């Protein structure tokens, strides 16, 4: 320990040098401290990495409205869709790290996309996870082309006639595709993958019985067809059974824990954001997620609120990234 006695024992030039060094360090810290205390002093922008109108966009806008109230400053939403969320995340990565530009996205641009090709940003350095917001369950649905009644019947058909069960997803290397690969690895059965470029045409073809099953995020677009019986849920990827589908088992319950995947969404900031601003943002988002209005908005859309520390969110992303890397390598998955 450096004591006052040791300081006095130094010669005058050494004491003067030490004092100047301490003052320099304090001066360097003052701008960030002052900035954090003044934040926010102007409107905040949240870049949503998906098109308007979807569940992620709706939740992002509800969160923005709540944060605007808590922070007493406008919080604006801007949609920048494309490339599986990477376009929006690139915009965040290149923004000033001052807390005034944030991103709302699934963790795929950080945990999945980097294993499929080169990105215009470094996920580890250019993006800072701020707070997780929600899990969006993945549901496996049977179409009119599938005559079986449950998940076991699907496996039985795949075993009796390898490749006869056509499994549609919203695209190569999407979460739905990863679920398919995990089911194939876990059961040692072969399915025929039918990748689409998005969910719109996939849903239309599902209703027309163009394939036997599809994996997609549970959303307002599919729920009416589930309620009508046109699409029948066989399994869900979620931490627990979904309240609106209490009879549907999770993949974990069906003996396939690695396939029990869901889409994790959260808020992100540019790299090197001041620690004080990061902590303030994380706290405000966690407070927002506790409000009855936002929780009801999430649960009403079959999404599960999460919250937690920025460090815990970063660990979740790192763990899923490692898992995705192994799956993609083993299955030889390549992006479109």
Closest alpha carbon to 147 in 49, 226, 221, 232: 232
Helix/strand number for the chain, H first, E second: 12, 10
**pLDDT by residue (tens digit) across 315-333?**
999 999 998 998 888 888 8
**Across 263-292, average pLDDT:** 97
What gap in Å lies between CA 169 and CA 216, rounded to an integer? Answer: 7
**Does position 237 have pLDDT exceeding 60, yes or no?**
yes
**Across 264-272, average pLDDT:** 97
Q: What is the architecture of the domain spanning 137-259?
A: 3-Layer(aba) Sandwich (3.40)
Q: Which residue has the tokens 């729920």?
A: 223
**pLDDT by residue (tens digit) across 66-95?**
999 999 999 999 999 888 889 999 999 999
Q: Which of 1-10, 115-124, 168-177, 304-313 has the lowest mean pLDDT?
A: 1-10
Give residues with Cβ within 8 angstroms of 44, minimum separation 6.
67, 71, 73, 74, 75, 76, 99, 100, 101, 102
Altogether, the residues listed in the chain come to a count of 336
Residue 232's H or E segment, with its range, is strand 232-237
Which part of the chain has CATH 3.40.190.10?
A: 137-259
Q: Which of 36-45, 176-185, 263-272 has the lowest mean pLDDT?
A: 36-45
Residue 52 is predicted with a pLDDT of: 86
**pLDDT by residue (tens digit) across 92-141?**
999 999 999 999 999 999 999 999 888 999 999 999 999 999 999 999 99
What gap in Å lies between CA 199 and CA 192, rounded to an integer? Answer: 18
Per-chain mean pLDDT for the chain:
89
Which part of the chain has CATH 3.40.190.150?
A: 44-135+264-331
Q: pLDDT grade, residue 7 (50/70/90)?
A: very low
Q: Is the dihedral of CA 286, 87, 222, 61 positive or negative?
A: positive
Task: Quickly list DSSP for 45-76.
Answer: EEEESS-TTSHHHHHHHHHHHHHHHHHTS-EE
Task: Quickly list DSSP for 234-281.
Answer: EEEESSS--TT-TTSPBTTTTT-GGG--EEEEEEEEETT--HHHHHHH
Largest CA distance in the chain: 90
Check: CATH 3.40.50.1820 for 44-135+264-331? no
**Is 167 in a helix, a strand, or coil?**
strand
CB atoms within 10 A of CB 23: 10
**Across 284-312, average pLDDT:** 94
């Amino acid at each position: 320990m450096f004591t006052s006695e040791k300081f006095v024992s130094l010669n005058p030039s050494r004491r003067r040098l030490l004092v100047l060094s301490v003052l320099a360090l304090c001066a360097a810290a003052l701008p960030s401290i002052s900035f954090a205390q003044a934040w926010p002093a102007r409107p905040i922008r949240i870049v949503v990495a998906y098109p308007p109108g979807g569940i992620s966009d709706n939740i992002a806008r509800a969160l923005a409205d709540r944060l605007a109230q808590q922070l007493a400053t406008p919080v604006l939403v801007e949609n920048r869709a494309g490339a599986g969320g990477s376009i929006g995340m690139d915009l965040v990565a290149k923004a000033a790290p001052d807390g005034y530009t944030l991103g709302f996205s699934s963790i795929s641009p950080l945990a999945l996309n980097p294993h499929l090709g080169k990105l215009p940003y470094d996920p580890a350095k250019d993006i800072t996870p701020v707070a997780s917001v929600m899990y969006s369950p993945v549901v496996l649905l049977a179409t009119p082309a599938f005559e079986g009644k449950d998940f076991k019947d699907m496996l039985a058909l795949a075993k009796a006639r390898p490749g006869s069960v056509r499994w549609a997803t919203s695209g190569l290397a999407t979460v739905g595709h990863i679920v398919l690969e995990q089911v194939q690895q876990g059961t040692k059965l072969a399915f025929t993958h039918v990748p689409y470029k998005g969910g719109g045409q996939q849903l239309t073809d599902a209703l027309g019985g163009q394939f036997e099953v599809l994996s997609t995020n549970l959303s307002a677009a599919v729920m009416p067809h589930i309620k009508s019986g046109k699409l029948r849920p066989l399994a869900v990827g979620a931490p627990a059974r979904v309240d609106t589908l209490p009879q549907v088992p999770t993949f974990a319950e069906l003996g396939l824990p690695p396939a029990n995947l869901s889409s994790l969404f959260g808020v992100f900031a540019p790299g090197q954001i001041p620690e004080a601003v990061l902590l303030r943002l994380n706290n405000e988002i966690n407070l927002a997620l506790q409000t009855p209005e936002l929780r009801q908005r999430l649960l009403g859309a079959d999404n599960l609120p999460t919250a937690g520390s920025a460090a815990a969110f970063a660990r979740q992303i790192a763990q899923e990234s490692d898992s995705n890397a192994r799956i993609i390598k083993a299955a030889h998955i390549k992006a479109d």
